[in-house]
Every structure is written in structure tokens, then in C-alpha cells.
Structure 1
Amino acid sequence: MSDTIQPPFSILFVDDDQMSRHHFARAVSDDYRVHLAQGADEAMVLLKELGPEIAVLVTDFRMPGRDGGHLLREVAQAYPQIVRILVTAYADKDMLLQTFNTGDLFRIIEKPLRMDSVREVLKQAVARYAERETRQQRLLAMDETLAFLAHELNTPLAAISLFARSVENDVAQEYDPQRQREIGAAATSMLNNAQYCLTLISSFWATVHKSGGQQPASGSGVREVRAARLLATLLDSYPFAGLQREWIDVDVHGDFVVHAMPNCVALVLSSLMSNALRALDGCPAPSLCIEVISEPEPEIRLRDNGPGIAPEVKARLLLDPVTTHAGQGGHGMGMIFCNRIMQSFGGGLRIESTLGEGTTVTMRFPGSRGRIRDADGEQASVTRTV
């Protein structure tokens, strides 16, 4: 038995000949999990049960009932992510051409099967499937990020609208000194919120434009983005109001490479920092400590000494749209979007808070083994939620 770690997906082999099925399974089962079906109908039943697990479909063409060409077309329609391979012993050029054009085939393999060639084709097919899966994850992450960006812009823009309407209503009145100070504060708030929106748009656009909208492939020549550098860049560009920058301390216990899309991570970090600074407004000695930690798993923690979050609110923050800033345009979706974006990378958020003492929000990144630890320190499988 091989010690090779099998990938988390399987091969479905369809052939009405029992000997062929047995021969195929015995030849490749050391490298892949193999499921077998003796016809198109049985294959579709298996796919309904195992669809997300199946990476490659290998099917014979000549079978009783529905042939392999019919199965390939049905799978292409219902499970387009599956890489499809046709096996045939017949040199029917018209049949092969029609099947290739309508079934979106990856390869055609001739019988009798030469297992060395089959293994090489399967290796290429699995690589194609992994590439498609990675691309899909990036698209899902981008969708979440765009929704999150819309939320982040909506909140300050709503505040700008609120303050602008107040100024508009009072513009014709005569102001006493107190009212003049209130209008000045409103104007400052509008400016700060507008600068925050512009910073987000500029940062996001610059990153996406530079990368062509795609995550660079791994390999030589790709510049690594480290967590401490990403944080420093954000602190340099963030539109702090008043003395807010002086509230922040940075503590790097161990740096790590951010393998997720750095612009998306920066948006999450920016949103969490904005929440913390807003919570600290009015505190007698505001403090926000941002920690970069590499062991036992990579994390970025934001720890403030603000008023804290009520337990009933904290329990819902990552599940339901709850907010304590409705008067400033908030609608409670920010933490949900942040968590979903981190989950799309294989990580997540953890929130700890005590009323009157402060709040700690932890951005959890997958470790080198693609796993994160649960609250008790045990390793838990990564869940990608979108």
C-alpha cells in the first residue's frame, strides 16, 4: 500500500465490463479514491450523492442503455466542474467528433488501457480540476469582497448624507457659538468619512489593477506579502481622525506570509480597525493593540480597551445583522462580511469581549497544513463558507 496522501476528491469510472472496472480500480486506487459504476444511470445516482467529491469522470463509450456520450453531456450540464474523459475502442470518427464537441472532453483514451498512460492523464485531469476549484474560490472571495466594499462605503457615505442634510437644514439660520462648533464637527466628520471611502477605493483598485484582477500563481518571481508589512501599509494610508493614530500600538510576535488575497485581507483589517476606533471614541485613555502572531497558527489580533460588547450582541455578530451604530449609517453586516471573506481563504474571525473591559477580534489564517485551531486549541478542518 502506498503512503501517498490521497487528494480530497475522487475518480468515477464507468464501464459495463466488470473486469475493466476491477482492473482500473486496482491500478489507480493507491493514488485516488475510486468509485465504480456499470452504466450511466448508476453513475448519475452516485454523482447525486458524491458530486462535490468527484473530480474526474472516466467513462466507456459503448454501454447498454445510454452510452458514454449521453452520460458526458448530462454530466457537463449538471456538474460542469468535473473533468471528463472518454474511453473507447471504436475508431468512429463522426461519433468521437460529436462527443468531443458536445461533452466538453478533456481527453479521449483508446482501449485497451495502458495504465501508465492512464495515470498520467489522471494526473493532468486532477490538476485541471484543482485549477478550476482554485479559480472558483477566488471568484467567490472577490464577490464577498465587493459586497464587503459596498458595505464599507455605504456606512460612511450614509453618515456624510446625514450630516450634509443637517447642515443644509440649518444653513439659513443664525448660529450661536455652540451651534457653530456642532456644524464644524459635522463638516470634519464628513471629510473624514469621505477620505475613508476614497482610501478604500484607491487601495482596492490599485491592487486589483496591478494583479490584473487575478491572484498570482505560486512560483518564482512572486513577491510574498507578509502580515507585518500589510499592517504597516494600512496604518500609513488609513485616514485617522485627530489623535487616533496615537491610540494604536503594534506588537509583532512572529511574522507570516499572507497567502490569501492581500487586498481582501487589508479591507477586513481596515474594517475591524475602524470598528475599534469608533468604539474607543470618548474613552478616557483609548488604546488599541494590534498583534501579529505566527505560532501556533498565524493570526492578527485587534485588542481595545473600549466599552466591550454585550453577550447577547456578541453571540449574534457573525450570524445576524446587528449594530450599535445605526445612527451613523451602520446596518450590522460588516462583521458578517469580514467573517465570510476570511472563511473563503480557509480562516475566520473570533470575537472575545467583556463589558467595561474591551474587545479582542482575531483574524485567523490557515496554517501550513491548511487547518485552523478551534477555541480549545484542537485542530479543526478548514471550512470554506460563502
Structure 2
Amino acid sequence: MSEVQQARPTLLYVDDEDMARKYFARAVGSEYEVLLAASAEEAIATLATDGARIAVLVTDFRMPGRDGGELLREVAQLYPQIVRILVTAYADKDMLLQTVNSGEVFRILEKPLSVAQVREVLRLAGERHRERALRQHRLMAIDETLAFLAHELNTPLAAIANFARGIESRVAGEYTEQRQGEIGQAASAMHDNAQYCLAVLSSFLQSVRNSAGSKAARPEPGAEVSAGALVASLLDTYPFSGDQRQWVQVEMHGDFPVQTLPNCVALVLSSVMSNALRALAGTPSPALRFVVVAQPHLEIHISDNGPGIPPEVMERLLVDPVTTHASAGGSGLGMIFCNRVMQSFGGGIRIASASGAGTTVTLDFPSFKNRMIRSDR
């Protein structure tokens, strides 16, 4: 009986020396499928066609044209799932420190290469790649699960919202004026809460659909989601009521890629904007402004000119379940959830507000791009 053999992991080795490439392929070819490239440009061309199946990149540092450090930086940005290893024959301390500190390399191998050392490092790199793949699959499973839940909740929530409007329209003439007001207020709160849930679900579903169809391992180069695109998508899909859309303005002071959990960031943006729109109800000349900032820090500011947040609520807002909308069904957990989402990938939320002075919520993002820029120096 023939046994089913597990496919060998694929790695890409880059070196301008022909003998070095042949030596490396012979040394590990029995355990890995080895792709070879003679330059950074040739490596990028190979990645363009085979990047989804390449687990490990091993590159020499000193090469004509673009060196291995430049190649590692580009691969780190375009193919983050690939584990990256640098080979060098030079004791270039500054180069090594920059490369390691910028997070663009998993290990550094020194020439002449030891076969035993190479095999051990590749074994560890394979484990790291499997960990990354598992984490990516888990994130995709979370996205798919939440998208399914959103789809299932969408129709009943819409029915609840319509039913609430129907109640409001039918109470007149059937009850006393006081009872009409009570029922109407309850129906209005029911409608507003259903609309809020629909808005959050709609925003999340749209972000998932925008990212659907990409390869499991990574998005296509140039297809990354930017902060500006997330804000634009939110404004395109959010079910505004009345003239709410006219309250919103967007300012762009640069843009930046949202490299981690863009679908969850879309949920945070939707939740924060929903809170702001609710706060602006009844405010003369309501205004809501999104400001995307790329320098010196990566940030999205959401500012409104509403009544602001009382100090006793502000000091507990990101810690305890506290809300200014308890009568409308608010639980106070929304901002805690949003802050935890941002913190999960190294960011966070800051809130500035005062009674009668409006509120600004700032989403802070980790500066992956800034670290890469610094490593070029």
C-alpha cells in the first residue's frame, strides 16, 4: 500500500553567487522544495507568482543592486506570513542591529553556512510559519462566524425597527395622551436600538465583503485596507437617518494602511460613530468630523459638537460598564469592547470630552510603517 506523503515546505533562497545557490539547494533539497533567485528583483518576481506557498525566505545581504535588507523590508510589508532569514559574511554591526530591531528578520546565518545550523534554523522557521498560518486561519474563522451572525440578525432587527415605527403610528387615538407618550417613547427607543445594531452589522458585513476573495495567506500587494478607505466604506454603508449624513465631514492629513484586523477596526469606527450620532440628537447645528492623521502618529479622530460626557462618566468610560444612554438600552460595554479591540493589536483609544464641549475619540494605531522607515537610515 502506498503512503500519502506530506508536501514539502517551500522556501526561496536568494544569492547572487551561483555556487552558493547550488550548495544551498543540495544541502536542504531533500526536506524542502527550494526555489532560487539571483537578485532581489528576481526574488520579487518569484514571490509574485509563488508567494502564497512560500513559507521561508533566506537571502544573502550583499548583492548587486538592492541588498538583502531592502528585500526583507519589502517582503515584510507585502508577504508578512513568510518567515525571513538573513545570510551575511560581514560583521556589519549597524546593519544587523537595524535589521533585527525593525522586526524584519527571524534569524541571521553567518557564512560559510553550516548544514546542521541551516537545517535547525529552517526547522524553527517552519514552526514559526505554521504558528502564523494557524493564527491567520483563526482570524478568518472569527470573521466568517461574525459575518454569519450578522447576516442572521439583519432581518429580525429590520423587522423590529419597522414594528416599532408601526407602534408609534398606531397609538394615537387609542390611549390617553400620557399613555401615548409612554408607548411612543418606548417604541422610539426600540427603533433606535434596532437601527444602531443594523448600522454596526452593516458596517462589519461590508468590511468582510471587501476583503473576501483574497488569498488566505495574505492580501494581494497594493490591496491593503487604508484608514481612509475604512472611513469611506463606513460612510457609504451606514444606514443614516434623516439628514445625519450631512452632519459628517472627513479630513485627510495623509493616510496609512490598517495592517491588523481591519474588519474589527471597522466595527470600532461604526460603534464610535453611532454613539456620536446618538449624542448629537437635538443638538443645534450638529457636526461630526473624522480626521485621519499619518504623522507623527497613526490616528483617526472622531469629533462631535454634542453635549459632551459628564466627568463622573468620563473617568470610568474605558474601565466600567457606564453609559449616558441607559434609558435607551445602553449597557456601557461598547467603549470597553472598542478599546480592547484596539489594544489587541498594539493600539488603543483616547477620549477627550467635557460637559457642553463635545467629544473627541482618538483611535491610536501601531506604527509598523514608521519602524520600517527608520530601519532604512
TM-score bracket for the superposition, by shorter chain length: 0.5 to 0.7
1:115 Cα deviation after fit: 2.1
Q: Which residue of 2 aligns with 1:242?
A: 242
Please give the secondary structure, in 1, of the residue aligned with 2:269: helix
Q: Which residue of 1 aligns with 2:174?
A: 173
Q: Which residue of 2 aligns with 1:324?
A: 324
1:131 counterpart = 2:133: yes
Cα distance in 1 for partners of 2:278, 2:319 equals: 21
CA pair 311-259 structure 1, distance change in 2 beyond 3 A: same
1:355 Cα deviation after fit: 1.8
Which moves more between the two structures, 238-247 or 263-272? 238-247
1:315 Cα deviation after fit: 1.5
Please give the secondary structure, in 1, of the residue aligned with 2:122: helix
Cα distance in 2 for partners of 1:353, 1:145 equals: 32
Which moves more between the two structures, 119-128 or 211-220? 211-220
2:225 maps to a residue whose letter is V
Q: Which residue of 1 aligns with 2:338?
A: 338
Matches within 5 A, 1:363-382: 363-368=363-368
2:358 maps to a residue whose letter is G
1:346 Cα deviation after fit: 2.1
Matches within 5 A, 1:302-317: 302-317=302-317
1:352 maps to a residue whose letter is A
1:114 maps to a residue whose letter is A
On the 8 A contact 2:171/2:184 being kept in 1, the answer is: no
On the 8 A contact 2:167/2:184 being kept in 1, the answer is: no
On the 8 A contact 2:347/2:366 being kept in 1, the answer is: yes
CA pair 311-213 structure 1, distance change in 2 beyond 3 A: farther
Cα distance in 1 for partners of 2:186, 2:339 equals: 32
Please give the secondary structure, in 2, of the residue aligned with 1:306: coil
Matches within 5 A, 1:115-154: 115-133=117-135, 135=137, 138=139
1:293 maps to a residue whose letter is V
1:121 maps to a residue whose letter is R
On the 8 A contact 2:133/2:217 being kept in 1, the answer is: no
On the 8 A contact 1:140/1:344 being kept in 2, the answer is: no
Q: Which residue of 2 aligns with 1:265?
A: 265
On the 8 A contact 1:234/1:270 being kept in 2, the answer is: yes
Q: Which residue of 1 aligns with 2:12?
A: none
1:340 Cα deviation after fit: 1.2
On the 8 A contact 2:202/2:237 being kept in 1, the answer is: no
Among 100, 110, 132, the residue aligned to 1:5: 100
Residue by residue over 1:153-175, the C-alpha shift from the partner in whole angstroms, topping out at 9 and shown as x without a partner, is 9xx89x95995797599477157
1:128 Cα deviation after fit: 2.6
2:308 maps to a residue whose letter is G
Cα distance in 2 for partners of 1:319, 1:144 equals: 27
Cα distance in 1 for partners of 2:287, 2:276 equals: 9
Cα distance in 2 for partners of 1:145, 1:359 equals: 29
Cα distance in 1 for partners of 2:262, 2:253 equals: 20
Cα distance in 1 for partners of 2:144, 2:318 equals: 18
Cα distance in 2 for partners of 1:245, 1:168 equals: 25
CA pair 240-183 structure 1, distance change in 2 beyond 3 A: farther
Please give the secondary structure, in 2, of the residue aligned with 1:5: helix
Residue by residue over 1:9-67, the C-alpha shift from the partner in whole angstroms, topping out at 9 and shown as x without a partner, is xx9xxxxxxxxxxxxxxxx8x67xxxxxxxxxxxxxxxxxxxxxxxxxxxxxxxxxxxx
1:286 Cα deviation after fit: 1.8
On the 8 A contact 1:144/1:340 being kept in 2, the answer is: no
2:351 maps to a residue whose letter is I
Cα distance in 2 for partners of 1:287, 1:119 equals: 56
On the 8 A contact 1:145/1:341 being kept in 2, the answer is: no
Stretches of structure 2 lacking an aligned partner (at least 5 in a row): 1-90, 110-114, 372-377
Please give the secondary structure, in 2, of the residue aligned with 1:346: coil
On the 8 A contact 2:199/2:270 being kept in 1, the answer is: no
On the 8 A contact 1:353/1:360 being kept in 2, the answer is: yes
Please give the secondary structure, in 1, of the residue aligned with 2:368: coil
Cα distance in 2 for partners of 1:192, 1:356 equals: 23
CA pair 209-239 structure 1, distance change in 2 beyond 3 A: closer
Q: Which residue of 2 aligns with 1:291?
A: 291
Residue by residue over 1:158-214, the C-alpha shift from the partner in whole angstroms, topping out at 9 and shown as x without a partner, is x959957975994771577x9889978877776565454444434434544665699
CA pair 359-211 structure 1, distance change in 2 beyond 3 A: closer
2:309 maps to a residue whose letter is I
On the 8 A contact 1:216/1:222 being kept in 2, the answer is: no
CA pair 320-196 structure 1, distance change in 2 beyond 3 A: closer
Please give the secondary structure, in 2, of the residue aligned with 1:362: strand
1:114 counterpart = 2:116: yes
Q: Which residue of 2 aligns with 1:17?
A: none
Q: Which residue of 2 aligns with 1:361?
A: 361
1:130 Cα deviation after fit: 3.7
Please give the secondary structure, in 2, of the residue aligned with 1:260: coil
Please give the secondary structure, in 2, of the residue aligned with 1:324: coil
Task: Provide TM-score, normalisation by structure 1.
Answer: 0.55
Residue by residue over 1:265-313, the C-alpha shift from the partner in whole angstroms, topping out at 9 and shown as x without a partner, is 2211111011111111122232212101111121110111222112221
On the 8 A contact 1:250/1:289 being kept in 2, the answer is: yes
RMSD: 4.6
On the 8 A contact 1:145/1:264 being kept in 2, the answer is: no
